[in-house]
Amino acid sequence: MGKYKGFSGAGMNTNKNMSSVVKRAQQMQEQMEKAQAEIESKEVTATAGGGMVTVVASGSKEIKSIKINPDVVDPDDVETLEDLVLVAVNDAIKQAEELMAEGMSAITGGLNIPGLF
């Protein structure tokens, strides 16, 4: 028993370090949740066709509104309008994803944590 006496202190140090790591992880999680809620409350705006179609989305990628300039509405060319709406919606979603990624990156220090966003 005497020859293993020196290892008892190492175990306590490991527990202290582990406790510190767990505490830091909990703090980071709280910061991430706060940042995510803040980002989700923000809005991004995307346009297509020189402003003929405007889409507003939240940071959580929820489409809030779509505005269509009446000048682009042509019953004989519905495909162009559909394309403009699609481009604007996809751009709004991309902007919202980038907003979330930037916000989370500020907290994680650029670490790529799978499943985070």
Model pTM greater than 0.75?
no
Query: How many percent of the chain have pLDDT more than 70?
Result: 80
**Is 7-108 in CATH node 3.40.50.300?**
no
Q: Taking residues 45-74, report their average pLDDT.
A: 96
Dist CA 89 CA 101 (whole Å): 18
Strands 43-48, 53-58: pairing is antiparallel
List pLDDT tens digits, range 73-107: 999 999 999 999 999 999 999 999 999 888 878 77
Contact residues for 76 (Cβ-Cβ < 8 A; gap 6+): none
- pLDDT, mean over the chain: 84
What confidence score (pLDDT) does residue 85 get? 98
Tokens for 97, please give them.
């994803």
